[in-house]
Amino acid sequence: MATFVLIHGGGGSAWDWHLLAPELAGRGHEVVVPELPIGDDTAGFAEFRETVVKAIGDRSDLVVVGQSYGAFTAPLIADRLPVRLIVLLTPMVPKPGERPSEWWDNTGYRGTEGLTEQEQFFDGVPAEVVAEAAAHVRQQVSAEWNEPWPLAAWPAVPTKVLIARDDRFFPAEFQRRVAADRLGVVPDEIDGCHAVTLSHPRQLAEQLTAYLRH
């Protein structure tokens, strides 16, 4: 049994994982879903890391999954605890010393002009889930946006990049290039949109648990 530590993205919450968590638990794994202190304007990367470490407690065999902006936090856990695997899901892959505010220009991100919010994030998500999502968006005012990413190098932990083929916010071609440039890896791909945790939770659970067998 592994412990999956699920770290939400920007403006997100534990709710973002509410369809995936039971899929993982049903496969015999423990699930930890921390809420990052994104509403605290004094909270930075140190506070994000401590929030996750505290939520993990004494659990072991950790698989840390960082979705989108959560990819800035996921590797920080391996700096404090033994981590079996890091999975970056539809991620913003950071590099040492980079401020999140700089990531967009540094990666050559071109934006999503002309797309609605639903098309960017929720394409293919059931309508009732999209309607519920609005109630769980949180304002992100935390301080890490302008803090240099604190690790001097990527952790010496096996790392997977998993992207969604139908992601219109971070298109697959863009994600492949960033993963190659920053980690030297070829991403794995599954069906789904940027919010793949909501569009394809079962397929995502199957892919995540498959990593444990390799």
Q: What is the pLDDT of residues 56-83, one digit of tens each?
A: 999 999 999 999 999 999 999 999 999 9
Res 214: pLDDT: 72
The pLDDT tens digits along the chain (214 residues) read: 999 999 999 999 999 999 999 999 999 999 999 999 999 999 999 999 999 999 999 999 999 999 999 999 999 999 999 999 999 999 999 999 999 999 999 999 998 888 998 899 999 999 999 999 989 999 999 999 999 999 999 999 999 999 999 999 999 999 999 999 999 999 999 999 999 999 999 999 999 999 998 7
Res 178: pLDDT: 98
Contact call for residues 150 and 174 (beta carbons, < 8 A)? no
Could you give the domains of the chain?
A: 3-213 (3.40.50.1820)
Task: List CB contacts of 62: < 8 A, sequence separation 6 or more.
Answer: 2, 3, 5, 56, 77, 81, 82, 83, 84, 85
pLDDT tens-digit series, residues 107-125:
999 988 889 988 999 999 9
Contacts 24+ apart (CB under 8 A), 205-210: 205/20, 205/23, 205/24, 205/27, 207/162, 208/4, 208/24, 208/63, 208/65, 208/87, 208/162, 209/24, 209/27, 209/29
